[in-house]
Amino acid sequence: MIRFLLKGIIRDRSRSFFPGIIVSTGVFITVVMYCWVQGIFNDMFSVTARFQTGHVKVVTRAYHEEEKRLPNDLALLQSDSLSAALQQQYPQIIWKERIRFAGLLDVPDENGETRVQGPVFGMALNLLTRDAFDRKILDLEMTLTAGHMPDNTGEILITEQFAGRLNIQPGDTVTFMGMTMYGSMVMQNLRISGTVKFGISTMDRSTIIVDIETAREMLDMQNAAGEIVGFFRDFIYRNETAADLAGEFNRNYSHSGDEFAPTMLTLVDQGGLREIMSYTRTMMAVMIVIFMFILSVILWNTGLIGGIRRYREIGIRLAMGEPKDKLYFTMIGEAALIGLFGSAIGTVLGLLVAWYLQRYGVDLTGVMKNVNVLLANKLRAQITPVSYFVGFIPGMFAIILGTALSGLGIYKRSTASLFKEFEE
């Protein structure tokens, strides 16, 4: 039967040409859009995990509630012992202490007077160890654009864009002004060892990277950390595993009413990422449904036009005694074959474009200047296993539905009047 249908489709290409083009186009758009959204979605998760949340993160309960203002007065105390305990209890995770802070960066002139100032966001992590995990996770060697990595305490990295705005360069000395852990004023001279460019507008705008020991001395946070972030050793986020770890850890402290008791958060529990993930999945499902509806309407009209062109052929087959049900399902079988080949062609073309977008990306630096989301300026698509069959869902469903609706006219043909139709 399939062989018979294939011969009919190949010999009469008018049956398959336009429906095939419509299906291929719809599938192509579906595959490209899916891979594009998936790439942006995963890139946002990856960047957020590296620079802000980790795959899991331990903070005090009070710190979590006020996290947007970077409340180091609510930081974890005795962080070294807590970090060691976490490493022993959860060895599948790499645990690292971090401090995030904000303040004002003052640049003096040749007379030591203020030449320019700018608000600054700081990240403190382990920089002085050459094989430090934090240096690798942030790709600091790869993003270094001038100067060198910090070799001593008191040296910092500054983003290239921020340095350009303040007109400073490696070797210059700047003064950080902010608040210590205990609320007193701090003014600390820091030497710029190098400049970096992350390619993330939010980070490149006004960021400095400081060794954690320098930050502890500067902010009066000896043996304290704002947060302890954890990463799976293969850097692949597993939401269920992370949720189980967080649940187990938090149950051990659930009996404590202390606001300074530690609590563990997963990646999706921070920054509204769970809502973003749910919204993205919903939008993908809505997009596919919309494509199926639009393609079904177009293919329905195409089927009606094809039915008019094949009006005499269908009449002859009915006059020869072919059952209406068999003829109807034969047409649906033809549509399924056309949808299969059209979906395959559209998927291949879509994957080729997605591969190009995955490899080279699209640079949106100009658009991302005022964006406050942790997202790389160069957006890339991502091909996943789902990408290979997601286009078949609207492609197959739409053409089968369109043909099924247009083919209902077969049952309206009166067998008794068939020969009279032919005479006309």
Residue 399: per-residue pLDDT: 77
- For residue 70, the model assigns a pLDDT of 87
What sign does the CA torsion over 272, 276, 277, 279 have? positive
In terms of DSSP bridges, do strands 76-77 and 224-225 run parallel, antiparallel, or are they unpaired? Answer: antiparallel
CA dist., res. 87 & res. 295, Å (int): 54
Closest CA to 353 of 387, 319, 377: 387
* Pair of tokens at residue 1: 């039967």
- What residues are paired with 362 via a beta bridge? 379
Retrieve residue 298's tokens: 């177009």
pLDDT tens over the chain, length 424 residues? 556 555 555 555 566 677 778 888 888 888 888 888 888 888 888 888 888 888 999 999 888 888 888 889 899 998 889 999 999 999 999 999 999 999 999 998 888 788 888 899 999 998 887 667 888 888 888 889 998 988 888 899 999 999 999 999 999 999 999 998 888 898 999 999 999 998 888 888 889 999 999 999 999 999 899 999 999 988 888 888 888 999 889 888 766 677 888 999 998 888 777 777 777 777 777 777 776 777 667 666 665 555 555 656 666 666 676 677 777 777 777 777 878 888 898 899 999 999 999 888 887 766 655 555 666 777 888 888 888 988 888 778 777 777 777 777 666 666 656 555 555 5
Give the CA count within 13 Å in the CB-facing half-sphere of 321. Answer: 0
Chain mean position to CA 252? 33
Alpha carbon distances (Å) from 349 to 8, 28, 30, 66, 399 = 26, 6, 11, 48, 19
The secondary structure of residue 53, as a DSSP letter, is I
The total of other beta-carbon atoms located within 10 Å of residue 243's CB is 16
Which single residue is written with the structure tokens 């078949």? Answer: 392
Distance CA 252, CA 255 (A): 7
Q: What is the pLDDT of residue 283?
A: 75
Place of tokens 């069959």: 389
The residues, ordered by sequence, that sit 6+ positions from 330 with a Cβ below 8 Å of its Cβ are 5
CA distance 204 to 160: 7
**How much is the pLDDT for 229?**
93
- pLDDT at residue 252, as a whole number: 82
CA–CA distance, 206 with 168 (Å, rounded to integer): 13
pLDDT of residue 120: 92
Rounded Cα distance between 200 and 377, Å, is 5
d(CA 31, CA 388): 8
Give me the residue label for tokens 């249908």: 5
Q: What was the pLDDT predicted at 99?
A: 93
pLDDT of residue 356: 92
pLDDT tens-place string over residues 324-368: 777 777 777 777 787 888 889 889 999 999 999 988 888 776 665
How much is the pLDDT for 157?
Answer: 93
396: which 2 tokens? 């197959």
The pLDDT, as a whole number, for residue 342 is 83
Maximum separation of any 2 CA atoms in the chain, in Å = 107
The whole-number pLDDT of residue 211 equals: 92
Q: Which residue has the tokens 């059952």?
A: 323
CB-count burial class (<10 Å; 0-12, 13-18, 19+) for 186 = middle
What pLDDT is recorded for position 124? Answer: 92
pTM here is 0.75
Radius of gyration of the chain, Cα coordinates, nearest whole angstrom = 31
For helices 17-48 and 273-309, the axis angle rounded to 10 degrees is: 180
Q: What local confidence, expressed as pLDDT, does residue 98 receive?
A: 93
Q: What is the DSSP string of 350-408?
A: HHHHHHHHHHH-EE-TTTTTT--S--BSEE-----GGGGTTTHHHHHHHHHHHHHHHGG
Residue 133, both tokens: 């995990």
Short-list 139, 134, 35, CA closest to 347: 35
Strand 93-108, strand 227-232: pairing:
antiparallel
* Spatial distance between the Cα atoms of 397 and 290, rounded to a whole number of angstroms: 12
**Do 265 and 228 meet the contact criterion of CB atoms below 8 Å apart?**
no
What's the confidence (pLDDT) of residue 113? 82
Specify the 3-state DSSP secondary structure of 299: helix
Q: Which residues, in sequence order, are CB contacts of 4 under 8 Å at separation 6+?
A: none
Number of Cα atoms under 13 Å in the Cβ half of residue 141: 10
